[in-house]
Amino acid sequence: MPRIFHDLNELLRKHLNSKSFWTNWSSKHLAFQLKQFLLLLILAGPAFGNNSKTITEISYAGVPGYDAAAGPILEWSAASVENAEPNIKSAVKAMPGLRIRWLGTFGYEISDAQTTILIDPFITRPKPAELLKPIVIDTNAVQHYLLSTVDLNKLAAILVTHSHYDHLEDVPYILAQFPDANNRPVVAGDPNTARIIQSYKHGSGIGWVDRSGGLADSRINILNLNNDNPTVEVGTFGRFTITAFKGQHSRYDYVPWRGPKGPVKDKTPYNYRDYKLFNNLSIGYLVETNGLRIYFSDSPLVLNPELIGQVDILIQTITSRAENNISTCLEELKPNYYIPAHYDNFLKPLDAFSKFDTVIGLDLPENIFDSPGPSLVNYSRYNEFLNEFETQYVPQAVASKKLDRKPKLRVLKLFYYYSLESLILKY
């Protein structure tokens, strides 16, 4: 989801119901709103600064939830994954080498000794001021943070939940690492995802300016999910079996909008507006291996959760929760573990992180009309979610009599490998 609209949404969410908002509605207010929008575009990017620290040096000190998440989870640093078998802290030994890592936003890698699956890999992270400019993939960042630690010979599939840029932008570059267009990983996604990827033309002779990639028809799995066809078998890749489920992209709290949407033309995307949502669709993916069931949902609004069945791990976007059925998801999916996602500041380049940043919106002064302008400080839906999870979603699910125990909340550090053997410890 484009961060700029999160910011505008947070502004309205905080003030739309206030008396001051309505009593001060005027041309002065409209001018102030426009000023904030322009400030976000012009100033937000440089304000984040730069930092030479690598991703494995990020400090998580003081971030709520991380200390509690450490528990039995085994962490592998990105620098120590070469053929190293971890020292499993769990007695569970059924799935040696099975591991997962969070790539930021809703990006994930899940792999075993034979096969790797990517979900929504997005590393580039353009700043707000860059969103209206031509899209440029940060190939150095993609190489450093992702491709340098992925065995491309084992990469079998890329699953795309929907066709917004913060889920799809880097996929063509990843595909371009495979010279033979007929031997690239399978990409699963909606029709807009297919059109965007297949519009990338290879071989212009001007480096990566045109973001060349392309994908043979045989390597794209277009998932035509609808009310009559809410689930589709994606396929089996090594020991992984993948099933897609129709979901819905949640709207912003006070803005009745889900981001850019509509048909995608057969042209290379120019800026973020060309990454359009297909029919409000957000595809959920059920990944199964050796009896383990993990559901990836890039929406807090899951359609027909009863079709998915019980899962071991539920990984779910927690932003834009105006429309959500998280409690119902807990009731129907009965996860042992719940992993929240897509709350990090994804308009901050990865190299700029020294302390992990859960900022996804603006924090404004109490009286916005007397203020000279917005301040780019922490206003975190992450903290809100932690409170809602404990006080609303879990109690409601338990009260329904369908959920007999509380799921364990796990918060993954960015770009660390976690052993799934330790994640699935028995209660």
Query: For the domain that residue 263 is a member of, what is the CATH number?
Result: 3.60.15.10
Longest pairwise C-alpha distance within the chain = 65
Tell me what pLDDT residue 33 has: 46
Q: How many CB atoms lie within 10 A of CB 319?
A: 26
Give the count of domains, the chain.
1
Cα–Cα distance between 99 and 75 in angstroms, integer?
10
Cα–Cα distance between 88 and 73 in angstroms, integer?
9
Q: Which domain holds residue 367?
A: 3-423
Residues whose CB is less than 8 angstroms from the CB of residue 274 and which lie 6 or more positions away in sequence, other chains included: 135, 196, 260, 264, 265, 267
Tell me what pLDDT residue 55 has: 54
Tell me what pLDDT residue 7 has: 53
Tell me what pLDDT residue 223 has: 93
Tell me what pLDDT residue 283 has: 97
Rounded to 5°, angle at Cα 319 from 127 and 327: 165
Q: Cα-atom radius of gyration of the chain, to the nearest Å?
A: 21
pLDDT less than 70: residues of the chain? 1-57, 65-96, 201-214, 252-257, 359-380, 421-427
Whole-prediction pTM value?
0.80
Three-class DSSP category at 289: strand
Tell me what pLDDT residue 393 has: 94
What stretch of H or E contains 172?
helix 171-175
**277: β partners:** 261
Cα–Cα distance between 266 and 236 in angstroms, integer?
30
On whether the CB atoms of residues 32 and 369 are closer than 8 A, the answer is yes
